[in-house]
Amino acid sequence: MRDLLRLTDDELLAATRDDPEAFGVFYSRHVDFVIAFLRQSTGDIETALDLTAEVFAAALVASRRYRAGEAPARAWLVGIARNKRADAHQRRGRERSMRERLGMPHREFSDAEMERVELSADASDGYADGLAELPPAQREAIEARVIEERDYAEIAADTGTSQATVRQRVSRGLTRLARTKEPRP
């Protein structure tokens, strides 16, 4: 039997088709990051947790289409998370959720359970607070470049700006983030 914990993300996603436990390992590896990312952008842990379940359900369905080497798996997850966040924001509920498609039950968690997740998300959320305080253009540029690892050209095309502008936003944002992490007198 394979030791799934030793597999790379790409290998786990490839193995998911025949071995769902591989997806479980992939989930465990990234769930806190996704929760932190969604909590930072939605503002509350309950919504973030709900969207996280939806993100991984979508990732499970889409895992067979994941192409190793095109982008890191975490960037792929962030792309799904952004789409789910946008869907939730625009209340696009015409199609059934991915969890429904998969026959997953709808879960409601107690405040105590969510607090536990929030504490854990806080611990893995090093970038979130500082990022939230950045101007939106800088925050989006950093998310796209640093977290999602997208090309400057692609980000520039998406945002209708030049590559130079995107580089400048990333650079200034990172500088500002670094300053917020410096010890204060």
Partner 1 sequence: MSLPRSESDPRMTIRADLVAAGRRRVAKRQRRRSAALATIAVAGVLGTAGAAAKIEGSSTGVPVLDRVLEISAERHPPAPSRSRDGEIVGPPPFDVRPGPSGASPPVELPWGTDGSAGTGIGVAYLNRSGHLCFVVVGPERRADRGGLGCTMERIVRDWLATAPAAVTTAGGAGRDLSAVNGFARADVVALRYEAPDGPVDAILGEPWRPGGASAKPIRPFVALFELETDRLDPRSLMRAISNGNLTATLDDGRVVEVRRGR
**Interface residues with partner 1 (CB under 8 A)?**
16-21, 23-24, 27-29, 31-32, 35, 49, 52-53, 56-57, 60-62, 64-65, 95-96, 99, 101-105, 107, 109-110, 113-114, 116-117, 120, 124
Find the shortest distance in angstroms from Cβ 171 to partner 1.
30
Is residue 73 within 8 A of residue 28, CB to CB? The reply is: no
Closer to partner 1 by CB, 124 or 163: give it. Answer: 124
Is residue 114 within 8 A of residue 74, CB to CB? The reply is: no
Closer to partner 1 by CB, 111 or 133: give it. Answer: 111
Find the shortest distance in angstroms from Cβ 185 to partner 1.
34
CA distances from 94 to 25, 87, 97, 116 (A): 31, 10, 9, 32
Q: Which of 121, 116, 141, 123 is nearest to 131 (CA)?
A: 141
Residue 94, token pair as written in the block: 């015409």
Find the shortest distance in angstroms from Cβ 70 to partner 1.
12
